[in-house]
Structure 1
Amino acid sequence: MNGRKVVVTGLGIVSPVASELEQFWEGIKNGKSGIAHVQGMDDIDQYAVQIAGEIRDLDVERYIDAKDARKMDPFSVFGLAAAVMAIEDSGLDPSNMDCERAGIIASSGIGGMQIMQEQCLRAYKGGPRRVSPQLIPQMITNILSGYISIKYGFKGPNFCVTSACASGTHSIGEAMRIIQYGDADVMVAGGSEASVAMLGVAGFSALRATSRRNDDPEAASRPFDKDRDGFVMSEGAGIIVLESEEHALARGARIYCEAAGYGRTGDAYHITAPAEEAEQAARGMKLAIQDAGLRPEDIDYINAHGTSTPLNDKGETLAIKKALGDELAYKVAVSSTKSMTGHMLGAAGGVEAAIMALAIRDNVAPPTINYTTPDPDCDLDYVPNIKREMEINVALSNSLGFGGHNATLCFKRY
């Protein structure tokens, strides 16, 4: 790409760790876990998996009218709240900008699972007349982009990217491309998810993809550790504001970093398992580095997909080695913040892009907590248990989704 320079000017987070940006970042730097026994499901003790990262501190009415929020699936509530935070953080004033040059790509991996589940139960018990007219508009994954657009009057590109756990990262990367191509000056992008519910917990448990450390929730997500036994489901949202450099400078915006590179590939291998040789995950990282006009030796920090599953962590370690080369791979700081947030599915890429921007801003690599037993297959520098103050000028963030979807973002100091 030889298009316009893109910068990050706003961040919004709704997460199990905290739902206020600086409080969230303090928690992440200091190894705070957001995982606990599920409180939002009355029958959770019937499930093999009883732990998750739930949203508990969000003041919904601070961001959304209570009457409107009651109609919305939680994934839209979380995503719209995070978008309001990000736009406020950016200092954008919709009344004083060309809203036809501002767009949205806000996504979800699953969408309105809770309203779909609730309305299915109502239909089975009471028949089709019991189904709400809100079912269809509230369950579709693109509705979040619609809500954000309507709230702010943004009339530019408006859609979503649904690619499972890579949705948030793909959304940010495609938004970056839109600005580079000159089709918009401002894009609001990221992901949201709210699948800690009967179907989500039961479905991932049936796949045997999730950790069963019900007696020790905060230690359950342990990426790259030899004793990892699966990921921990979480909910929340991560939304960021991207702008062309000239638009941001013209209004005197505070700039976190440059969104410099983007790579995306497909494994063409299996619907749930990553490809064993990790060639395409590695190629995605290489493409992001090349797109940014950089070299492997320029990378200081990688926010790994790092799900805490046996196959993902082994495969991603191999992918990093193939992307950077063995010698460089061992020198780069790699951490998985999913050790604290859990796996936020379609929201993960948005949250982790925000973490990458904050890591560059503050020169801090957040830790991988719960790293106690090294795994011979996972032998990189995972910033174990304690944050590391270090110079971070260039960072990568990886997301890998069911279906073989790989996406990598490269951010660098502005």
Structure 2
Amino acid sequence: MQSLQSPPLKLSPLQPLSLRKQQSISPLTRIKPTKPSSSTRISASNVATPVRETDPKKRVVITGMGLVSVFGNDIDTYYDRLLAGESGVSLIDRFDASKFPTRFGGQIRGFTADGYIDGKNDRRLDDCLRYCLVAGKKALEDADLGGDLLSKIDKERGGVLVGTGMGGLSVFSDGVQALIEKGHRRITPFFIPYAITNMGSALLAIELGLMGPNYSISTACATSNYCFYAAANHIRRGEADLMIAGGTEAAIIPIGLGGFVACRALSQRNDDPQTASRPWDKDRDGFVMGEGAGVLVMESLEHAMKRNAPIIGEYLGGAINCDAYHMTDPRADGLGVSSCIERSLEDAGVSPEEVNYINAHATSTLAGDLAEVNAIKKVFKNTSEIRINATKSMIGHCLGASGGLEAIATMKAISTGWLHPTINQFNAEPAVEFNTVANKKQQHEVNVAISNSFGFGGHNSVVVFSAFKP
């Protein structure tokens, strides 16, 4: 994203990684480790090669997916509309946006929580919480754990980790307005509980009776991937059998739109909103706000097999780090991102050559799109077999929920063999040098996929998925 002022590139605490690269020592090729771990194997040349986890207690599989999106709440419908190259971006009509320089977004319309949230709570809750509850419960249904079926698991070993970048922004905004206009006595008692970022995870656990790890993570637009990474590690460490993880966001309100306008981060293509999100296009002018929720049910393979769960795919690993550079701008050299990708592959037991699909962060900002591509090029020397695409070109940038919705798109790509297009590719940046699945879906057998998410503050997160192979 573009900031008001962009300082020159400066050294950061990550500099030693670049020195390591100059010495040609990759994090995937540690020399002569004294005690080989389960994720490395020593070859005849005494160089470690990546090996994936084999312990069924530590292997993490995806058994359910749930979402709320601009394309509805059904997984297959969501992906079908992505494959069709349909844009969900339109003029905002939730409030009067006529005086804003940006007047459009990926606004959800016609959302209903019927059957998932009781009427009284449905009227009180912030949309951020409503989206979380519906997506979480739908993910459990997809995992054959809906309703009374949840009694099949040990609820003390089931956790919830659904984060948000902005929290209950509507509740917060309404509370501030009530204070200013009517005084403190008119602030609703639900103001604090429904505004704080942890309440989505808390309410979902309360309704389901899940007593395992429960909290939220807030790392701006990297939030969902941070949650997947943390949830998987709870399972790997034996602290949980099952985790509901992902992100939720509902920030298309006046203060949310106005805030990003003030950051100069948004496209202003009001005359043609559906073509406003243009990842990797020379004429891109900023991102498009979106909203929704994307949630995965993650389980240990041992737990999933014991209950004969439907296994959609496998989480192989992930990584998180920080650019330590600027509040809103990425490092131009991509060092933080490239090292995050490398560490995610090490955690997954995957070599760069095995990766052939990347669901990119690709927000349609001037600096961000190219910084990510530069980082990808550092890690993947042969790009001829790699396909990259940008889900945000169709649904907008859903902030803390973006990684969740993109993880679902990634899992559908793995299971269907079809990649959705990156739409609005009219005048491609020559420096990209990747097959970006421009404007039309492509068939592609995915071997290993990575999904990237990066957030204000320099937060980087990468998660690695594949088809499940017993």
Q: Does 1:269 align with 2:314?
A: no
Shift of 1:145: 0.3
**Structure 1 equivalent of residue 83 of structure 2:** 29
What is the alpha-carbon distance in structure 2 between the residues aligned to residue 90 and residue 301 of structure 1?
Answer: 25
Amino acid of the structure 2 residue aligned with 1:283: S
Q: Does 1:58 align with 2:106?
A: no
What is the alpha-carbon distance in structure 2 between the residues aligned to residue 258 and residue 223 of structure 1?
Answer: 28
What is the alpha-carbon distance in structure 2 between the residues aligned to residue 330 and residue 405 of structure 1?
Answer: 29
Q: Does 1:45 align with 2:98?
A: yes
Shift of 1:113: 0.8
What is the alpha-carbon distance in structure 1 between the residues aligned to residue 436 and residue 416 of structure 2?
Answer: 19
Q: Residues 185-264 of structure 1: matches in 2 within 5 Å?
A: 185-264=241-320
1:68 to 121, 132, 149: 121
**Structure 2 equivalent of residue 324 of structure 1:** 380
Q: Does 1:119 align with 2:175?
A: yes
Q: Residues 229-378 of structure 1: matches in 2 within 5 Å?
A: 229-325=285-381, 328-378=382-432
What is the alpha-carbon distance in structure 2 between the residues aligned to residue 78 and residue 308 of structure 1?
Answer: 25
**Structure 2 equivalent of residue 107 of structure 1:** 163
What is the alpha-carbon distance in structure 1 between the residues aligned to residue 208 and residue 99 of structure 2?
Answer: 43
1:401 to 443, 455, 468: 455
Structure 1, unpaired ranges of 5+? none
- 1:215-264 Cα offsets, whole Å, 9 max, x none, are 11110111111111000001100011000001111111111111001011
Shift of 1:58: 2.3
Shift of 1:330: 4.1
Secondary structure class of the residue paired with 2:114: helix
Shift of 1:128: 1.0
What is the alpha-carbon distance in structure 2 between the residues aligned to residue 321 and residue 257 of structure 1?
Answer: 26
What is the alpha-carbon distance in structure 2 between the residues aligned to residue 60 and residue 399 of structure 1?
Answer: 28
**Structure 1 equivalent of residue 210 of structure 2:** 154
What is the alpha-carbon distance in structure 1 between the residues aligned to residue 433 and residue 70 of structure 2?
Answer: 29
Shift of 1:19: 1.9
1:64–1:81 Cα contact (<8 Å) kept: yes
Secondary structure class of the residue paired with 2:282: coil
Secondary structure class of the residue paired with 1:62: coil
Stretch deviating more after TM superposition (90-99 or 170-179) = 90-99
- 1:8-57 Cα offsets, whole Å, 9 max, x none, are 0100111112221111010111111110000101x210111100111113
Amino acid of the structure 1 residue aligned with 2:85: G
What is the alpha-carbon distance in structure 1 between the residues aligned to residue 129 and residue 250 of structure 2?
Answer: 9
1:18–1:27 Cα contact (<8 Å) kept: no
What TM-score, normalized by structure 1, do the two folds share?
A: 0.98
What is the alpha-carbon distance in structure 2 between the residues aligned to residue 363 and residue 240 of structure 1?
Answer: 20
Shift of 1:324: 1.3
Secondary structure class of the residue paired with 2:135: helix
Stretches (4+) displaced over 4 A:
none
Amino acid of the structure 2 residue aligned with 1:70: R
What is the alpha-carbon distance in structure 1 between the residues aligned to residue 170 and residue 112 of structure 2?
Answer: 20
Give the number of the structure whose residues are more often helix, by fraction. Answer: 1
**Structure 2 equivalent of residue 177 of structure 1:** 233
Secondary structure class of the residue paired with 1:191: strand
2:137 to 84, 106, 114: 84
Amino acid of the structure 2 residue aligned with 1:61: D
- 1:278-330 Cα offsets, whole Å, 9 max, x none, are 111011111111211111110111000010001110101101101212xx234
1:14 to 62, 68, 81: 68
What is the alpha-carbon distance in structure 1 between the residues aligned to residue 204 and residue 141 of structure 2?
Answer: 13
Shift of 1:393: 2.0
Shift of 1:364: 1.3
Q: CA RMSD in A?
A: 1.0
What is the alpha-carbon distance in structure 1 between the residues aligned to residue 287 and residue 71 of structure 2?
Answer: 16
**Structure 1 equivalent of residue 35 of structure 2:** none
What is the alpha-carbon distance in structure 1 between the residues aligned to residue 251 and residue 458 of structure 2?
Answer: 21
Q: Does 1:143 align with 2:196?
A: no
Amino acid of the structure 1 residue aligned with 2:341: M
What is the alpha-carbon distance in structure 1 between the residues aligned to residue 287 and residue 319 of structure 2?
Answer: 24
**Structure 1 equivalent of residue 23 of structure 2:** none
What is the alpha-carbon distance in structure 1 between the residues aligned to residue 432 and residue 196 of structure 2?
Answer: 38
Amino acid of the structure 2 residue aligned with 1:162: S
What is the alpha-carbon distance in structure 2 between the residues aligned to residue 12 and residue 173 of structure 1?
Answer: 18
